[in-house]
Structure 1
Amino acid sequence: MKFPGKFLIKLMLLSSYLVGGSAFFILLLSKEIITLTSPFYLLGIFLFVYGWVWLARTYLSKQKERNKQLTQHKIVH
């Protein structure tokens, strides 16, 4: 499966954002800088989930676009 270069760059940036963000919040929680009821923690969880949802939607739209292109090239007898 081939992906355009821009998509791969976005995918790498998003994955590093997700991993780095989760590690950062785990560090903040372990040092008790923020608590589970803190608005920053809730905002971090929201951004983390939003990142994964965006990644899934982007991947699925690429798959749909690819399947659409494949069906346009089929010859119907």
Structure 2
Amino acid sequence: MTEYLFLFHNTLGVVKTRRALQAAGKDFRVTDIPRQLRGGCGLCIWIACPEEGYQDWVMAGLTESVYRVQGEQWDCIATYPPA
């Protein structure tokens, strides 16, 4: 499993992604965005899933970017335009 960090354009993205993850019974956590990163709404979601499985949780128009977490480092692997 790989850990991913999702940033959102606004809090609606956090809410919708959280609801989808809860409905699917997935483990996740919502936190403030790490200081080293910047994002639209200030909140992020951490998800552990198989490689490339992160795409299942991207919300078109709501997800801003996805980072692969590697220890204390984050590698941006995808960015998305706002709605």
Please say whether Structure 1 and Structure 2 have the same fold, judged by a TM-score greater than 0.5. no
Considering only CA atoms, is the larger Rg found in Structure 1 or Structure 2?
1
More strand by share: 2
More helix by share: 1
TM-score (norm 1): 0.29
Structure of higher RCO (CA pairs closer than 8 Å, 6+ residues apart):
2
TM-score (norm 2): 0.27
